[in-house]
């Protein structure tokens, strides 16, 4: 089913209106033919992904077990998440959204021309929202190619293919409305924005350019947030679960990031976290601490340096700094331009494998006089989660922490998880909060 055709047709009529109605009909006919051909070529490579996983309940405080027991009496213990994926290699590698398959006990895929069968999750990454599956494509199905080069500029047309509400191979016409966008609740800052919503079941679907190459992968919608279709243990309908609150546009992970994540996952089962070893302010990319023995110390970074660019990509704040470092492969040299006082200097560093080069948590932390790890000024992502200045960090994912180095090591033990369980001490008591990584 095609969506938003009337609005696009009206736009094209205004753009191409001529003296003869036949000419207008010719323009629309050509557009219609192109969309049909594009959908026909890409459709066989698009799969419906169903992931089965235990339903997880997180409760704070000392009554966790009692609350979990109470809730589980009235709710199913397992649910199925429905999404989309697409074939990217002839040997059966499929790209999909990590939010769909992360933590799943069992994953099944169905090509439009074949039966449903089980797939293997080779790995994934929460930051890039990308997962790689191995499936068995029907004979003759051609994989889709990822686009290369810069993301398409605003105004570019494309076709988005998904499994809206579990209905296979729905297509939408979309226009790129913005690039390099982010949500306040996430670290990721490189979304393409299109005027086609990513509906429940669509996450992981390809956004195709006129040449049939994949411009990006559907991540979530700004209409009510990210959703999962959930079924009960018996496979019956259970409802739609909302994952995040975000009105009418779709967010897309661009092809360049998909390619980087795919290469890492296909080779290593994950996107390897690279460690630079600095803490930086949240309002600007100024180094506040360089960890001893880290690649940053070896490169010559010192506290007070203002990072101007990474590999010639401008850095405007700690968020873009984290993103720039996330895209550097472990072991690859990178150039860091810093401003120290009135002078600018270029330094070269090599990320080592370890905890993520940055976590959204790390820039918030500092030491108090007692040697504890405390939370400093927080931004909107963490205010919404209930983190406040002065909170003392006690543990990360159940691992006690006392220094930023402890934090990095604890975070590095669960790179595949999109969230972090943080225990904080506040006003004499302790609380557990699950926060975005």
Quick one: pLDDT at residue 79? Answer: 73
Quick one: pLDDT at residue 328? Answer: 86
Question: Which is nearest to 322 in space by CA: 361, 284, 375, 359?
Answer: 359
In 1-125, DSSP assigns E strands to 2-3, 46-54, 78-87, 93-97, 106-111, 116-125
Find the Cα–Cα–Cα–Cα dihedral 150, 155, 158, 162, rounded to 10°. Answer: 100
CB under 8 Å to 91, separation ≥6 — which residues?
none
Q: Are residues 263 and 278 in the same domain?
A: no
* Prediction pTM value: 0.71
Share of the chain residues as helix, strand and coil, in percent rounded to the nearest 5: 25, 40, 40
Residue indicated by tokens 């550097």: 328
Q: Are residues 50 and 171 in the same domain?
A: yes
Pairing of strands 170-181, 2-3: parallel
Q: Are residues 213 and 332 in the same domain?
A: no
Task: Assign 3-class secondary structure to 351-377.
Answer: CEECCCCCCCCHHHEEECCCCCEEECC
Question: Residue 406 sits in a domain of what CATH number?
Answer: 2.30.42.10
| In contact, 154 and 252? CB cutoff 8 Å | no
Pairing of strands 250-254, 274-275: unpaired
Buried b (16+ CB within 10 A) or exposed e, 332-357: eebebbbeeeeeeeebebebbebbbb
Total residue length of the chain: 437
Quick one: pLDDT at residue 78? Answer: 66
How many other C-beta atoms lie within 10 A of the C-beta of residue 36? 12
Q: Are residues 267 and 284 in the same domain?
A: no
Domain boundary among the residues 308, 332, 353 is at 353
User: How many domains are there within the chain?
Assistant: 3
Q: Are residues 396 and 247 in the same domain?
A: no
| In contact, 269 and 131? CB cutoff 8 Å | no
Q: Are residues 341 and 387 in the same domain?
A: no
Q: Are residues 252 and 294 in the same domain?
A: no
Residue ranges making up the domain that contains 313:
274-353
Q: Are residues 235 and 295 in the same domain?
A: no
Quick one: pLDDT at residue 210? Answer: 92
Question: Which is nearest to 160 in space by CA: 221, 206, 209, 211?
Answer: 206
Q: Are residues 149 and 192 in the same domain?
A: yes
Q: Are residues 126 and 183 in the same domain?
A: yes
Quick one: pLDDT at residue 189? Answer: 79
Q: Are residues 319 and 393 in the same domain?
A: no
Quick one: pLDDT at residue 15? Answer: 47
Domain boundary among the residues 290, 320, 353 is at 353
Bin 251: left if φ > 0, else alpha if -120 < ψ < 50, else beta.
beta
Domain boundary among the residues 241, 271, 301 is at 271
Question: Residue 178 sits in a domain of what CATH number?
Answer: 2.40.10.120
Quick one: pLDDT at residue 207? Answer: 96
Quick one: pLDDT at residue 118? Answer: 96
Q: What pLDDT tens digit does each residue of the chain (437 aa) get?
A: 444 444 444 444 444 455 555 555 677 788 888 888 888 899 999 999 999 977 655 555 555 566 666 655 655 556 788 999 999 999 999 999 998 998 888 999 999 888 999 999 999 998 899 999 999 999 999 999 999 988 999 999 999 999 888 777 788 888 999 998 887 667 687 899 999 888 888 999 999 999 999 999 999 766 444 444 444 433 333 344 444 444 468 899 999 999 999 999 999 998 887 888 887 765 678 887 787 888 999 999 998 999 999 988 888 765 677 778 888 888 889 999 999 999 999 999 998 887 544 445 555 555 554 567 777 666 556 666 677 778 888 888 888 888 766 776 676 665 556 677 888 888 878 888 877 65
- Classify residue 389 as exposed, middle or buried by CB count within 10 Å of its CB (0-12, 13-18, 19+): exposed
Quick one: pLDDT at residue 317? Answer: 67
**HSE on the CB side for 25, CA within 13 Å?**
3
Compute CA 256 distance to the chain's CA centroid, rounded to the nearest angstrom: 13
Q: Are residues 334 and 381 in the same domain?
A: no
């Amino acid at each position: 089913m095609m969506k938003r055709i009337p609005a696009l047709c009206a736009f094209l009529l205004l753009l191409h209106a001529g003296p003869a109605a036949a000419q207008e009909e010719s323009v629309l006919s050509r557009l219609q033919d192109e969309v049909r051909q594009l959908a026909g070529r890409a459709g066989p490579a698009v799969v419906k992904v169903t992931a089965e996983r235990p339903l997880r309940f997180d409760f704070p405080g000392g009554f966790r077990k009692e609350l979990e027991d109470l809730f589980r009496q009235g709710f199913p213990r397992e649910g199925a998440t429905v999404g989309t994926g697409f074939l990217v290699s002839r040997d059966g590698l499929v790209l999909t959204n990590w939010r769909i398959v992360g933590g799943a006990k069992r994953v099944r895929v169905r090509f439009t021309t074949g039966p449903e069968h089980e797939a293997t999750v080779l790995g994934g990454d929460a930051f890039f929202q990308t997962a790689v599956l191995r499936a068995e494509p029907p004979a003759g199905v051609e994989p889709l190619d990822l686009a290369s080069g810069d993301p398409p500029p605003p105004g570019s047309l494309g076709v988005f293919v998904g499994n809206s509400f579990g209905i296979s191979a729905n297509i939408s016409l979309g226009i790129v409305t913005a690039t390099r966008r982010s949500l306040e609740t996430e670290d990721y800052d490189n979304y393409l924005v299109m005027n086609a919503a990513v509906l429940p079941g669509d996450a992981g679907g390809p956004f195709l350019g006129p040449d049939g190459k994949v411009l990006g992968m559907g991540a979530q919608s700004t209409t009510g947030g990210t959703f999962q279709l959930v079924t009960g243990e018996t496979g019956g309908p259970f409802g739609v679960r909302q994952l995040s609150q975000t009105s009418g546009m779709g967010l897309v992970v661009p092809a360049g990031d998909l390619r980087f994540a795919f290469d890492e996952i296909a080779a290593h089962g994950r996107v390897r976290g690279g460690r630079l070893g600095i803490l930086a302010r949240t309002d600007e990319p100024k180094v506040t601490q360089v960890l001893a023995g880290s690649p940053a110390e070896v490169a010559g970074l010192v506290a007070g340096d203002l990072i101007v660019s990474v590999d010639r990509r401008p850095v405007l704040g700690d968020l873009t700094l984290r993103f720039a470092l996330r895209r550097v492969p472990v072991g690859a040299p990178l150039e860091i331009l810093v401003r120290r006082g009135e002078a600018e200097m270029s330094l070269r560093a090599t990320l080592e494998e370890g905890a993520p080069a940055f976590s959204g948590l790390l820039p918030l932390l500092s030491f108090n006089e007692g040697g504890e790890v405390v939370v400093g000024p927080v931004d909107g992502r963490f205010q919404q989660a209930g983190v406040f200045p002065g909170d003392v960090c006690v543990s990360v994912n159940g691992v006690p922490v006392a220094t930023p180095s402890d934090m990095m090591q604890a975070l590095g033990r669960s790179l595949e998880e999109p969230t972090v369980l943080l225990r904080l001490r506040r006003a004499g008591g302790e609380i557990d909060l699950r926060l975005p990584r």
